[in-house]
Amino acid sequence: MFTPRDLKLAEAVLDRCRELGHTLATAESCTGGLISACLTEIAGSSDVLSCGFVTYSNGAKETWLRVPRNLLEERGAVSEQVARAMAEGAREVSGCDLAIAVTGVAGPGGGTKDKPVGLVHIACARREQATLHLKCWFSEDKGRSGIRELTVRSALELALAQLGKPMLA
């Protein structure tokens, strides 16, 4: 399921967190836990990865991650603002130093003109740092699995950027 590149990225995130003494949480919607699964493919990940939230519904985002209801109603779950709120909420609720969050439309249905299949928002919150955001437009041709896999890879790359580590070649 995960490519060698994905596993290399996961290992790099875990190694960098160890170097900094950071713990990590994930908040996933469209990936349904794949980021946590990729990280836990690496032996010893439990010393860094504290927890993962799979918040597929708006109610779960609101209850577990403290995403404000009005934000979900006004912007929709698939938005920069909600991705940022998910990451910041996961970091605060978990007490971790770093949190990665993703929300998007993986398809094949569910897309709209404004939020088509393949649109994904990724955010990474780090204690005492500005939250980073990445908006991705993955091709609908990649299919549901492909969009989810590309989201995992992009989320891990954003986490490395947030940790001050250049992306892998």
Please give the Cα distance from 16 to 158 (Å, whole number).
13
Q: How far is CA 97 from CA 9, 20, 54, 103, in A?
A: 19, 10, 19, 20
1 band by pLDDT with thresholds 50, 70 and 90 = confident
pLDDT at 165: 80
The mean pLDDT of the chain is 96
C-beta separation of 69 from 81 below 8 A: no
pLDDT at 150: 98
pLDDT tens column, 71-120 = 999 999 999 999 999 999 999 999 999 999 999 999 999 999 999 999 99
24-28 and 98-104 beta bridge pairing: parallel
pLDDT at 169 over 60: no
pLDDT tens column, 68-81 = 999 999 999 999 99
pTM: 0.96
Domain with residues 4-162, CATH architecture:
Alpha-Beta Complex (3.90)
